[in-house]
Structure 1
Amino acid sequence: MRTVVFFGAPGSGKGTLASRTAKHHGLRVVSSGDALRNHVHRRTTVGVRVAEVLAAGRLVDDAIVADLMFSELHAASQDRASLLLDGFPRSLHQAEWLADTLPTVSRSLDAVVNLDVPERVILGRIENRWIHAPSGRTYNYSFNPPKTHGLDDITGERLTKRADDDIDTFKARIAKFNDTTTPILEYYHSKGILNSFKGETSDQLFPQIDHKLGHIFGFKQ
Structure 2
Amino acid sequence: MNIILLGPPGAGKGTQAERLIKELDAVQISTGDIFRTNIKNNTPLGTKAKEYINKGQLVPDELTIDLVWDALDKVEDGKTILLDGFPRNITQAEALDEGMQKRDNKIDKVININVPEDVIIERISGRRVNVSTGKVYHIKFNPPKVEGIDDETGEKLIQREDDTEAAVKERLDVYNKHTSVLIDYYNKKGILVTIDGAKTPDEVFDQIKKSLGR
Is TM (by shorter chain) over 0.5? Answer: yes
Conservation of the 8 A alpha-carbon contact between 1:18 and 1:84: yes
Q: Which residue of 2 aligns with 1:132?
A: 130
Q: Which residue of 1 aligns with 2:6?
A: 7
Instruction: Sort the Cα spacing of 1:133 and 1:33 in 2 relative to 1 into closer, same or farther, 3 A.
Output: closer
Paired letter, 2:108:
D
Choose 204-213 or 121-130, whichever is displaced more: 121-130
Residue 155 of structure 1 deviates from its aligned partner by 0.8
Conservation of the 8 A alpha-carbon contact between 1:36 and 1:68: no
Instruction: Sort the Cα spacing of 1:127 and 1:87 in 2 relative to 1 into closer, same or farther, 3 A.
Output: closer
Instruction: Sort the Cα spacing of 1:72 and 1:122 in 2 relative to 1 into closer, same or farther, 3 A.
Output: same
1:121-169 CA-to-partner distances (Å, cap 9, x unmatched) read 1112234322222222111132212233332111122322222332222
Instruction: Report percent identity of matched pairs.
Output: 38
1:88-133 CA-to-partner distances (Å, cap 9, x unmatched) read 1122011112112213223221100111011111112234322222
Choose 109-118 or 30-39, whichever is displaced more: 30-39
Choose 30-39 or 100-109, whichever is displaced more: 30-39
Structure 2 CA distance for aligned equivalents of residues 104 and 74 of structure 1: 12
Structure 2 CA distance for aligned equivalents of residues 117 and 206 of structure 1: 14
Note the residue ranges of structure 2 that are not aligned, 5 or more in a row. 53-57
Q: Does 1:71 align with 2:70?
A: yes
Conservation of the 8 A alpha-carbon contact between 2:11 and 2:197: no
Structure 2 CA distance for aligned equivalents of residues 37 and 170 of structure 1: 17
Structure 1 CA distance for aligned equivalents of residues 122 and 59 of structure 2: 31
Conservation of the 8 A alpha-carbon contact between 1:4 and 1:113: yes
Conservation of the 8 A alpha-carbon contact between 1:30 and 1:83: yes
1:67-108 CA-to-partner distances (Å, cap 9, x unmatched) read 3333333322x4432100111112201111211221322322
Conservation of the 8 A alpha-carbon contact between 1:73 and 1:105: no
Conservation of the 8 A alpha-carbon contact between 2:27 and 2:82: yes
Q: Does 1:159 align with 2:157?
A: yes
Q: Does 1:54 align with 2:48?
A: yes
Structure 2 CA distance for aligned equivalents of residues 105 and 162 of structure 1: 38
1:171-220 CA-to-partner distances (Å, cap 9, x unmatched) read 1211111111122111001101111111323233111112211x1xx7xx
Instruction: Sort the Cα spacing of 1:181 and 1:60 in 2 relative to 1 into closer, same or farther, 3 A.
Output: closer
Q: Which residue of 1 aligns with 2:55?
A: none
Instruction: Sort the Cα spacing of 1:162 and 1:7 in 2 relative to 1 into closer, same or farther, 3 A.
Output: same
Q: Which residue of 2 aligns with 1:100?
A: 98
Residue 37 of structure 1 deviates from its aligned partner by 6.5
Residue 16 of structure 1 deviates from its aligned partner by 1.5
Structure 2 CA distance for aligned equivalents of residues 40 and 97 of structure 1: 25
Conservation of the 8 A alpha-carbon contact between 2:127 and 2:159: yes
Paired letter, 1:19:
E
1:114 match: secondary structure: strand
CA RMSD of aligned residues (A): 2.8
Structure 2 CA distance for aligned equivalents of residues 62 and 170 of structure 1: 21
Instruction: Sort the Cα spacing of 1:61 and 1:11 in 2 relative to 1 into closer, same or farther, 3 A.
Output: closer
Q: TM-score, normalised by structure 2?
A: 0.82
Instruction: Sort the Cα spacing of 1:167 and 1:187 in 2 relative to 1 into closer, same or farther, 3 A.
Output: same
Q: Which residue of 2 aligns with 1:86?
A: 84
Paired letter, 2:48:
L
Q: Which residue of 2 aligns with 1:26?
A: 25
